[in-house]
Amino acid sequence: IGEQVLLKCYFKSSSPITESLTVDWTYRPLTGGQMETIFHYQSVPYITTVGKFKDRISWVGDVAKGDASIAIQSPVLSDNGTFICSVKNPPDV
């Protein structure tokens, strides 16, 4: 609580990394409910501008190295839940 937390995500692809590669991070609270996209990357990071993680997520990945990690600033107990990292690198999914 209160410190930065790193959510690690590593991937391998049989296709060369291109600007078509996308990374999506989604989140569902422990209490359930709908998944919400909290971060999107395609060539550049698109930080979420709404929701509970607004202004608290930073991109720390490097897709050239197979890293799609993000960091969350000032986590609180209510952030607990399921975080899913999804990487697509067409034509490899």
The neighbour count for residue 66, using CB atoms within 10 Å, is: 15
Query: Is 10 a residue whose pLDDT tops 80?
Result: yes
Q: Give me the pLDDT at residue 15, please.
A: 92
| Closest of 12, 5, 13 to residue 58, by C-alpha | 5
Q: What is the model's pTM?
A: 0.92
Query: Is 63 a residue whose pLDDT tops 80?
Result: yes
Contacts of 33 (CB under 8 A, 6+ apart): none
Distance, CA of 5 to CA of 41 (rounded, Å): 19
- Reported confidence tier of residue 89, pLDDT bands at 50, 70, 90: very high
Q: Give me the pLDDT at residue 39, please.
A: 96
pLDDT tens digits for range 20-39: 999 999 999 998 889 999 99
Q: Which fold has domain 4-88?
A: Immunoglobulin-like (2.60.40)
Q: Give me the pLDDT at residue 48, please.
A: 85
| Every domain of the chain and the residues it spans | 4-88
Distance, CA of 75 to CA of 3 (rounded, Å): 7
